[in-house]
Structure 1
């Protein structure tokens, strides 16, 4: 098109009586067209340069997400939303002063583009609740699957007032209600990414981000996902401050535990259908026990998920264990014995030296540990130290763990 224009222009200039003037006009047109061509070619470079320069958010422990700030927008990358995930998910988070023309070209490079701040949100796991609570953005929550499981007092008040809608179950969300709510964002939770409800939501134009806090392999890494929510609400400084305090509390408690003069032996889990489920030695539960300076009897095992053992192997190794923690969802000695009479053969059962978080529940029956424990590992660690080394925290009252009834 440009070549054709040049040919026509040249022909007209040659025919002109005012050769000098015509030549100057021709020269001007040529320079103008060349400038246009150079500008067109440089535009992608400008975009690439803007994409390549940014400030990384400080993420110290978590491996499953990263955030980079580019002044008018942020790029959030989710690396491992579930254990076998092979894809990285990239999201552009646009601030109030973002360049609409720029993003009309760039949005195809991301899994989704989300305008900030988030004013209406749906989350799908109770582990997401504490971040909203701690960042003081709980009023933005408008829907949740299984509201009875929520224990937060502030959010329970919103539920009782009818400002948070019930959405059914995580693996079968009530999409009709959710689409009616029309949130700015849905924070999903999934073990494999195959959630038809969330796929329907995405196809409707509502952004969905899978949160992989539960996949992290250390207590502080899981807690650091509060920074994920901080980025969504432009509250990075607040999230960083909250996490820094949790980290400080945790590391101080871990250091205190090293002063213990004894290391009690610890058993965990219980029988279900002839299988005893216990935390493996590389789990976050085992890491907490290690940091509490106790002798967890399966601390040398390696693997993902829980250990699945038969009764005999557990009994041989742990019949004389000093302390028994987390006997599954059993809430009393009676229900534990009724579940399997062999439970009563352990020394810890006979000495009534058993502790559980099952009985620490919220207003509607939600277990507080499942909601808050991941975000506050400092409290979990202090609970374990109080149980296993009571002399080190004489005035501390356990937050989650209580003696089995």
Structure 2
């Protein structure tokens, strides 16, 4: 699920009144308005069919599989067929084009399939026109170093954020925002519908990764609504849910739009929408609620994913804090990687995931988890297979490679070796099974199944790297106690 990293752009220098912003988590919110996505790509009349990752499923249920290899869960193979409907096109270069991209599930798939990344409102394809990208100065600085799906440019008195291709298969789609300190004058020529007043006071979000980054910046009290509150791991956030400070807003076509409206958030942060959600999104937009895409889940570099904390920091005028958090974890990560590279003699071969019935959805070699394995001194068995989506393979085909694995990681939802052989007895004959080298990333679970690997793990790639490094090369990490991972017994 983490392939195609070109998703967000923020523009602007640290606004002075953002730098000085104290930690105030109690002020009421005032609703803002607008949503605008821009596209510079030429779209075909019919989009290609592909297989979607199930970030929706794992973020909302605590599913602890890598998002790229989780498609087969509970008959929920996530596929879509895209159709681009062009509306109000003009034949003149530089003119605005308005259209909608609609995806629908391929016929034959179960009704329980989670639809992902659907109806998007695209407005204004012209980069240089008023309300487009606006103008930038020579001193503007893009502070995004690694993430490919986001750009954040700091200018004098504001920041410009662009989210690029914010869902799987969204080629050339740009969502653009101007982040302007409250009470300040917006940049000249900026479309008022694309302006977000910062710092945010109230937010509704859909992913535990959003919560983790907000929490890391000390702004958890600004969260007023969340989709899937029972699967939150962090105790302080769960306490806010218990006390009624964070409301449940529902899922997919059961999103409680009236609840969202009653919460009056400054914005709703999402990472993908289903076709059933198009109506409520339009209604929220018309009521002046900003809808911002977060594409951290599409980053294939662990540090690129973590760097999205800079976007959250800009929304809360906590730029310096976000920069500091990221630079420190980046240095720790790169230091660990360098130490592993210098200390290993042989890369250990790694198998990932679990089959669903007779199909194994294989994470490609250019994915987030495969990058972690490489950096931890491992060799992923499918490192030679690059793809934008997971690769469904027959169990027999996977088995022929799996016999070469030294370790087996991220083994689905299993808690014991007996559960693995119950899925398929043949798996018990794998050398990594017989040698007891199976580790799962579900060491930190809440009572209701919330998995901290999918929550705080997004901003702790160094801890995940250390865990995997200690599993593959324990001689390099003799004092390390596994944090996110545990041995499957």
TM tier, smaller: 0.7 to 0.9
Aligned to 2:358: 274
Query: How many angstroms apart in 2 are the aligned matches of 1:383 and 1:51?
Result: 45
For structure 2, the 5+ residue unaligned runs are: 1-130
Larger deviation: 167-176 or 131-140?
A: 167-176
Q: Secondary structure at the residue paired with 1:51?
A: coil
- CA separation of 1:213/1:192 partners in 2, compared to 1, >3 Å: closer, same or farther? farther
Query: How many angstroms apart in 2 are the aligned matches of 1:68 and 1:311?
Result: 47
Aligned to 1:22: none
Aligned to 2:418: 334
Note the C-alpha offset of 1:83: 2.2
- CA separation of 1:299/1:106 partners in 2, compared to 1, >3 Å: closer, same or farther? closer
Query: How many angstroms apart in 1 are the aligned matches of 2:448 and 2:467?
Result: 23
Query: How many angstroms apart in 1 are the aligned matches of 2:309 and 2:275?
Result: 22
Q: CA RMSD in A?
A: 2.4
Q: Is the 8 A contact 1:269 1:278 kept in 2?
A: yes
| Larger CA Rg, structure 1 vs 2 | 1
Q: Secondary structure at the residue paired with 2:151?
A: strand
Task: Choose from 173, 180, 190 the match for 1:87.
Answer: 173
Aligned to 2:53: none
Moved over 6 A (4+): 191-194
- CA separation of 1:332/1:380 partners in 2, compared to 1, >3 Å: closer, same or farther? same
- CA separation of 1:171/1:333 partners in 2, compared to 1, >3 Å: closer, same or farther? farther
Aligned to 1:298: 382
Task: Choose from 204, 207, 213 the match for 2:287.
Answer: 204
Task: Choose from 319, 329, 333 the match for 1:246.
Answer: 329
Q: Is the 8 A contact 1:92 1:113 kept in 2?
A: yes
For structure 1, the 5+ residue unaligned runs are: 1-46
Q: Is the 8 A contact 1:266 1:324 kept in 2?
A: yes
Q: Is the 8 A contact 2:159 2:178 kept in 1?
A: yes
Q: TM-score, normalised by structure 2?
A: 0.69
Structure of greater relative contact order (alpha carbons < 8 Å, 6+ residues apart): 2
Aligned to 2:244: 162
User: Within the alignment, does 1:125 sit opposite 2:207 as a pair?
Assistant: yes
Question: How is 1:214-363 mapped onto 2 (pairs within 5 angstroms)?
Answer: 214-258=297-341, 259-363=343-447
- CA separation of 1:372/1:170 partners in 2, compared to 1, >3 Å: closer, same or farther? farther
Q: Is the 8 A contact 2:255 2:277 kept in 1?
A: no
Q: Is the 8 A contact 2:226 2:248 kept in 1?
A: yes
Note the C-alpha offset of 1:359: 4.2
